[in-house]
A and B are shown apart, each in its own frame.
Chain A
Amino acid sequence: MKIKIFPKNEQEFSKFFIVLIPFLFLLFGGISLAKESYFLFVNILPQNNVFNYGFLDKLNNHITYSLLLSFLIVFLTSYLLPKTLGRRLVIFPIFFLTSLGVIGLESLDLLLGFLFPNNFYSFGNTSYTMIFKVLIFFAFVGLLSINILAKKEASMFISAQYLFGAAIFYGLSLIVYRGNFAVFSDNFFINSIYVSTHIYVGYSFVFLALLHFMTTKGINGTLYSKTLGSISFWGYLFLLPWTNFKFYFGSVLPNWIENISLYLSLSLALPLLAVTVNFFKTVTTRTEENKIIYGLISFSFGVFVVTNLFQIVSSLSNIIPILSLTNFEIAIRYGYVFSSILISIAFIYYLIPKIFGREVKFTRLESLTVLIIKIVVAGTLFSNALIGIISGYSWNAGANAGNPTIYGEGFGLLWSLISTPLSVNLFLSLLLLLPFFLFFISVMKALVNGEITEAETVELTEEELPV
């Protein structure tokens, strides 16, 4: 295993992420466990500026939604973009430095969070790191654009489209993050658009970029329809940024934007249908029969479909009062995150022989890893959706009874109902550490002890930019 500090090309740069992303998964699992523990066992655990639920929740949000996502976007760009464009990345050294800037600033935020816990991860952040983040991310988007314009392949592979969409909406979410708070509704505006552009678009586009790559190159399938691919791309691109406002239905947001959000969330059925048909028709043509990789791809797709169904269900006007502004929305966020994580695991297994020239042997270790992670993901989605329904129902019942607040006896009743699924959440986050640890072991085992196999050779053109 040889990783260069200053990689010469995209493939060498990708090696860095194959080693690092299993670490990030472990970090994500560890902080999730700490957060859940501090939520449930708050009275028996020590409290200080760092070890308290409030800080750990912010930390968990930063790692899950910013750090991991930025690493995945840079990783996919460095490996997938040259493949889909048929050429080496234009001015790779600048791309490398910009990518380091993107992931470095997100990592720096994490470090600063420990040093200054009180100022960590808050909206309306006007710090210098935030300004640098916006600037460097737009440089990154600019480089992506130059590369796409200079493509050598005649057609545009769908993965590249999704990557560009993910990157540009990530940039937009950073601008929104710095939005000015003047009146009460600003809080909801900034929260809504940030969550939908950063988490919904960011993670789902990373997932869809990988899905299109893995169903074709990963398992040797033939893409069923480019038209359906385009329908799903433009559909999600246009609809997803609007879908979070519905969770603030009946709040201080203007009515028109709440209603539009409901209708556009319902319209998610269209791109979902397109991507589902394309997926099933494409996987039937597969010639590679790796059960682990195919299992991960199909399960991650299942999670993505369920998440979309959650979005659609939560936009039905009769259900809105129960589901809006509850943990149900957290289930949706987890759905997008987990679908990307699952398919990333398949992607890393696929890439190890290609990039490192080491064979991955799919033994019981890998089967166990995949089995446990599937159980955890399904359980987490179900548990959070259930908590969302219970808390929403309690709130609604309280409001109808004339008391809009969950207080005193009302809260006691709510707590008795949700403490069981919350305990399940804690158990699941403990269980999640196991597959992440096993995955880490599996990757390291393949990299160190895997049988040597033929690595992929890059045969991409390196021509000058067209004038």
Chain B
Amino acid sequence: MSELLSKVAEILNAPESLVQRSAEARAEASGKSVDEVLQSWAGGESVAAVEKTVEEPAPVEEEAPVEEEAPVEELATTDESSIDIQKDDDEEIVQLLIEEELVEAKKESSFALLMGVIGVVVFTYLFAFSIPKQQSEDLVLESLNNSVRVSEEILEGATIYNQLNCQSCHTQNVRVLIPDSQNGKVLKNRFANKNLILNTGLLRLAPDLSTLASREPTNDGVWLKKYLTDPTSVKEEIPHPSINFLNEQDLDYLITYLLSLGSTNE
């Protein structure tokens, strides 16, 4: 039988297991043996599909028409009409195989998939964003012991700093120096404004500015103005853009903000 099965599988270009299952299904439906079904498929002759006739009492001669039991050898000499029948039968078998595959694949539920994905999204939003964010805010609120007042000029300067995207290269307190301090060292009042919070560097390519106002010569407003409008006047090779397109007032705000950057861990 296995040889026959292989032959049929080759003819139909389908996996053996699938062909066998289909043959068994057809055999059961037609009341024939599996071998007979396979032989008929191998020879191109179909076994009558009698699913409907099984339910309805039918005359004996209709259940197994003599014409359909043609031997394989006879196929070689059959006329064109029998070749057509053979093609139809092949198509029918292939259709049966395809249908069987589809029946197997029907287990997947798109509703379950959507619910699963939405579940992961909600889980992520709650546990990776909303809850820990709230937790951090609560910790900071509990540790408000060193409030710093920020003037309007400093906030204006911080906004300009942010708009110029200075934080793309510069850092400010990227890493807490005392690891255990966690959120307790960060003060709500000091960083309550979005523009101040955003002034945190990511690339760490340019110098850290968190202690800018406590160092020479950057603690000098006149020096800063000269440097920002024409960096090459300070050092020829310095890779810093010249901020000469800002108006006088905005430049002053920016410098006021920079001079407010004192010690780390504020």
Inter-chain contact A251/B174, CB cutoff 8 Å: yes
A405–B164 touching, CB < 8 Å: no
- Within the complex, which residue of A54, A187, A245 is in contact with B164, where a contact is CB–CB below 8 Å? A54
Q: Are B114 and A164 in contact (CB under 8 A)?
A: yes
Instruction: Decide yes or no: A156 and B186 within 8 Å by CB, A169-B121, A189-B132 being known contacts.
Output: no
Interface centre among B121, B176, B200 (most CB of A within 10 A): B121
Q: What residue in chain A is nearest B172 (Cβ atoms)?
A: A405
Q: A148-B114, A187-B198, A197-B124 are in contact. Are A330 and B241 (CB under 8 A)?
A: no
A53-B183 contact given A168-B118, A172-B121, A330-B203, CB 8 Å threshold = no
Produce 1/0 per residue, A384-413, CB < 8 A to B: 000100011001000100001111101100
CB of B133 closer than 8 Å to a CB of A: yes
Q: Are A183 and B137 in contact (CB under 8 A)?
A: yes
- Interface contact A52-B164, CB-CB below 8 Å: yes
Interface residue total, chain B, C-beta cutoff 8 A = 71
Question: How far is B103's CA from A49's CA once the two chains are assembled, in angstroms?
Answer: 63
B124 touches A182 (CB 8 A): no
Q: Which B residues are CB-close (under 8 A) to A256? A: 132
How far apart are B13's CB and chain A's nearest CB, in angstroms? 13
- The interface bits of chain B over 81-98 (1 if a CB of A lies within 8 angstroms of the residue's CB, else 0) are 000000000000000000
Q: Does A461 contact B (CB under 8 A)?
A: no
Is there an interface contact between A237 and B132, defined as CB atoms closer than 8 Å?
A: no
| Identity of the chain B residue whose Cβ is nearest the Cβ of A171 in the assembled complex | B121
Q: Which residues of B contact A156 (CB under 8 A)?
A: 108, 110, 113
Query: B113 to A148, Cβ gap below 8 A?
Result: yes
- Asked if A252 and B241 sit within 8 Å, CB to CB, the answer is no
Q: Say whether A129 faces chain B, with CB atoms less than 8 Å apart.
A: no
**Nearest opposing residue in chain B for A327, CB measure:** B203
B197 touches A325 (CB 8 A): no
B250 to chain A, nearest CB (A): 10
Whether the Cβ atoms of A254 and B182 lie closer than 8 Å is yes
B57 touches A (CB below 8 Å) = no
Q: Which residue of B lies closest to A394 (CB)?
A: B204
With both beta carbons as reference points, the residue of chain B lying nearest to A181 in the complex is identified as B194
B168 (CB) vs chain A CBs: closest residue: A57
Tell me whether B194 and A183 are in contact (CB under 8 A). no
A47 in the interface (beta carbon within 8 A): yes
Q: Within 8 Å CB of B202, what residues of A?
A: 191, 325, 329
Report if B219 contacts A (CB, 8 A): no
Known: A183-B191, A252-B186, A410-B207. 8 other contacts (CB 8 A): A52-B245, A54-B168, A176-B129, A193-B124, A255-B182, A405-B171, A405-B211, A419-B239
The 9 closest A-B pairs by CB, nearest first: A54-B165, A405-B208, A155-B105, A184-B186, A118-B163, A185-B136, A181-B194, A154-B105, A183-B140
